[in-house]
Amino acid sequence: MKLENPRVALTRKLPSPVEKRLADLFDAVMREDDAPLSREALLECARDCDVLAATLSDRLDEQFFDAVGDRLKLIANFGAGVDHIDVAAANERGITVTNTPSVLAEDAADMAMALILAVPRRLVEGVRALENGDFHGWSPTWMLGHRVRGKKLGIIGMGRVGEAIARRANAIGLSVHYHNRNAINPHIEKELSASYWDDLDAMLAEMDIVSVNCPLTESTFHLLSKARLERLQSHAYVVNISRGEIVDECALADLIEAGRIAGAGLDVYERGSPNAKLAAAPNVVLLPHMASATVESRIEMGERVIINIKMFADGHKPPDRVILGLDEGRSPAT
């Protein structure tokens, strides 16, 4: 099916070069402001278009697809993670879903590494001490963190972001371990010097730092449950740049408070923003979901959105179609 000059509705403001190109190519309907749309506003904008350029702030569930009518043909998601979209419900109604994998993996991996370094080395605590006037000169015993080199890093979800983290981890002397639904290609495993753990529980008990990089699906919700978090050694750190719901955040906060886990570096939260206990903990570094927030990533994400729409409108299969079941084990990067 070809679409002649498709109407493309944006649900958020996108970087200007992306919006300009969208306007050149399609009948694009932009947002004046950048606030997430209410359910009603989202439906109103989606009913009247062929393509919805959505983002993770749009909840596109079965009820949405029931109510959206039959004009909408493509959800071109600006982002890799599609946990906010009921892809099966979309496909059942003949709506294709695409995302933007790959382009943000390197930037997301940089942010994971920043957290992997920042938490054991107490980077943010140090900055705060200086800002609060608590620095009274160098001391042999003050602000001691832990060495990163030589420690074991356990990556949960060895997709594009996981692999990019593993490359960086090798460079700083971490030993790389991973849990995935399946072991990765042996050549890549060898190149990354990575050891596969089929048994997540067994891996957790041995790691010094755990990095969460799997997508959020029904089977990864609370993958790091209270029971699993309790398996970690008391000197271990948890880093999560993927989706908050993969970690039982209350249990994590309680275990950190009780000294049963050494600290955490988080970019994502179960309920959108961090719980109060985590926000108050000195050994926790919290970021506002910014792992893919570089100008370069966001423009390349926009370019993927445009390529997917163009291919679809020209009657071809868009390159980044989300195929159910296929993407599990790949990271949403985020």
Question: Which residues contact ligand DGY (rule: CB under 6 A)?
Answer: 56, 79-81, 104, 292, 332-334
Please name the residue ranges forming H helices in the chain.
Answer: 16-25, 39-47, 62-67, 87-92, 105-118, 123-131, 160-171, 186-191, 200-206, 226-229, 249-257, 276-280, 295-313
Min dist CB 215 to ligand DGY, Å, is 9
Whole-angstrom distance, CA of residue 88 vs CA of residue 86: 6
Question: Taking the complex as a whole, how short is the minimal distance between the CB of residue 293 and ligand DGY, in angstroms?
Answer: 7
List 238's β-bridge partners, or say none: 210, 264
DSSP state of 137: S
Nearest approach, Cβ of residue 329 and ligand DGY (Å):
15
Q: Residue 228 or 330: which CB sits closer to ligand DGY?
A: 330
CA gap 156, 188 in Å, rounded: 16
CA distances from 199 to 43, 154, 196 (A): 43, 12, 9
Q: Nearer Cβ to ligand DGY, position 79 or 157?
A: 79
Minimum Å distance from CB 217 to ligand DGY?
13
Give the tokens for residue 77. Answer: 């998601």
Question: 207, 177 in Cβ contact below 8 A?
Answer: yes
C-beta of 12 vs 179, nearer to ligand DGY: 12
For ligand DGY, the closer of residues 31 and 84 by Cβ is: 84
- Closest to 251 in 3D by CA, of 278, 288, 273, 283: 278
283 vs 334, beta carbon nearer ligand DGY: 334
Pick the closer one to ligand DGY by CB: 240 or 334.
Answer: 334
List the one residue out of 159, 2, 101, 4 whose CA is nearest residue 304: 101
CA distance 212 to 10: 30
The CB-of-80 to ligand DGY minimum distance in angstroms stands at 4
* CB 288, min distance to ligand DGY, A: 11
